[in-house]
Amino acid sequence: MKPGHGPRSAGRYVGAIHRFARRHFAAEMERLGLPATAFPLILRLLRKDGASQDELADDFLVDKATAARTVARLEEAGFVTRVVDEADKRIKRVYVTDRARELEREVHAAAEAWSEMLLDGFTAEERQATVEYLQRMADNARRHWGDVPHAPCGGAREPDVEK
């Protein structure tokens, strides 16, 4: 942030990083032929396949319609399929296709490249400390999640924050 543009706070910098990350991953997803907004969802499914659309909405703090639109775009492009849950026919599970698996290495590389950009110029000790501080911040956010009012865009579960 430029000096003189408001108070320095963790929230301000986390927000700025989030906005830059959205742009970075939108460009990477478009390069790979994926919808621009698909990065967190496709990465989550590549790590753990078979989530329901409602679980995905809750994990990423978006409303169910937004999650459904993103899944529909991924399905139309051939990256995921939706399958009715055998135990509960009301639930549709989302699975990545072979086409998405073919991009798995590149999706993970995009995530790693972003981390490297963020930590450019940091020593090994600074990198480790920064990641530990960010983990603590994520843990604090998770712990206090129930203390704040939530918009109706999910929130029945804690957001997906990788441990």
Q: Residue 26 is inside which H or E element, if any? A: helix 10-31
Q: Is 163 exposed, middle or buried (0-12, 13-18, 19+ CB in 10 A)?
A: exposed
Q: Tell whether 5 is covered by a domain.
A: no
Query: How far is the C-alpha of 60 from the C-alpha of 156, rounded, in Å?
Result: 11
Domain of residue 141 covers 10-147
Number of domains in the chain: 1
Q: Is residue 156 part of a domain?
A: no
Q: What share of the chain is helix, strand, coil (3-state, %, to 5)?
A: 60, 5, 35
Q: What is the pLDDT of residue 159?
A: 52
Note whether residue 42 is domain-resident: yes
Give the pLDDT score at 154.
Answer: 47
Domain CATH code at residue 143? 1.10.10.10
- Decide if 24 is inside a domain: yes
Is 155 inside any structural domain? Answer: no
State which residues of the chain have pLDDT below 70.
1-6, 146-163
Residue 64, domain member (yes or no): yes
Query: Is 154 part of any domain?
Result: no
In this prediction, residue 36 carries a pLDDT of 85
